Amino acid sequence: MTEVRRIAIDVMGGDVGPPVTVPAALAVLATHQPLHLTLVGDEQQITPLLASVSASHAERIEIVHTSVAISSHARPDSVLRGNRDSSMFITVDRLRQGLADACVSAGNTGALLMAGRHLLEAIPGIDKPAIMATLPATRAGGYSYLLDVGANVSNTAAELYQFALMGAVLAASLSDRPHARVALLNIGAEANKGTPEIREAAALLADNPDVNYIGFIEGNQLFDGVADVIVCDGFTGNITIKTSAGAVKVLQRQLSASIRSSWYHRLLGLLAGPLLRDIRKNLNPSRYNGATLVGLRGIIVKSHGHALQDGFERAINHAIKQIEDDVPALIAGKMQR
């Protein structure tokens, strides 16, 4: 890879836009010397946020102006229909043109997927791209990875097998796990359980000595850290990750309500303050922000739309790590074996 890492950022994406995305980009720029950023968005909103940037940092920043942004509620195909001057489309197109090594957006997931599929070719041997997200885990270094979480509604056995190979490569890059343990999410651990597609994918993985396949896991093992990479179809994965996020919110609300319910509970809350802060830190979505659209000839990282600055920084750092390891090339090599 080239020494200078070039990242295009859709600064208009997300619930807040430039007030979050631009400071996050600047924070990452300050800690990565060989980094060049292209900020794609409304120049009038971006420029004031660069007022305190040093001259040495400013020369590593390029602004590509557009005032057009894709709404989070827009149809996914709107990015291709009359909105090719949008910040999202331009950001992904920088990859196609070879003007960026990766791109990051907190915008509309469906539109980003549509733009990626339209502008970038699939890696040879990959039938469909997938979205891989980070999950909290009680073991395995505190993280595990789940794919697909919504790029597809249904998948064949061959596609699930491809997801497993891609997930293992990406997990090795993001968390230094060269022998990532791969599992298929299923309704039971027994070999006869699950759909024909899942059982066939299991057979394909079991026959590949290059994959550290450990078998099926069930939903109640999702956060145990028994697997580094968990594979499922996009329909199942999307429901799983959204249900998990909802469960965390319920837990946090119930805990807060319980602490406020009486003077005794408030006292216990004060005494347990350090423990509660540690739990809150570990459940903070920003720690797990940054999903990768994997399977295309380019690195696309999707930040959550609700992410604050620290979460968006994490998404950018995900992109940097994948540039350093040249993940698309590693996946291509894996598929040729």
**Residue 50 belongs to a domain with what CATH number?**
3.40.718.10
Q: Which two tokens stand for residue 235?
A: 């329909």
* Domain shared by 225 and 140, yes or no: yes
Q: Please report whether residue 237 resides in a domain.
A: yes
**Helices of type H across the chain:** 18-31, 43-46, 55-58, 87-96, 109-119, 157-175, 196-206, 234-260, 263-271, 273-283, 309-325, 327-336
Residue numbers of the chain with a pLDDT score lower than 50: 1-2
* Domain shared by 15 and 102, yes or no: yes
* Domain shared by 109 and 18, yes or no: yes
Q: Is 176 exposed, middle or buried (0-12, 13-18, 19+ CB in 10 A)?
A: exposed
Distances in Å between the Cα of 305 and the Cα atoms of 32, 54, 73 are: 24, 29, 12
* Domain shared by 135 and 256, yes or no: yes
* Domain shared by 102 and 150, yes or no: no
Q: Please report whether residue 48 resides in a domain.
A: yes
Q: Please report whether residue 148 resides in a domain.
A: yes
Give the distance, in angstroms, between the CA of residue 111 and the centroid of all CA atoms in the same chain.
15
pLDDT at residue 63, rounded to an integer: 96
40: left (phi over 0), alpha (psi -120 to 50) or beta: beta
Q: Which domain covers residue 9, as residue numbers? A: 1-125+295-325
* Domain shared by 136 and 107, yes or no: no
* Domain shared by 162 and 251, yes or no: yes
pLDDT at residue 1, rounded to an integer: 45
Q: Please report whether residue 333 resides in a domain.
A: no
* Domain shared by 171 and 281, yes or no: yes
* Domain shared by 271 and 145, yes or no: yes
How much is the pTM? Answer: 0.90
pLDDT at residue 140, rounded to an integer: 54
Using an 8 Å Cβ cutoff, are 21 and 9 in contact?
yes
Using an 8 Å Cβ cutoff, are 86 and 64 in contact?
no
Q: Please report whether residue 330 resides in a domain.
A: no
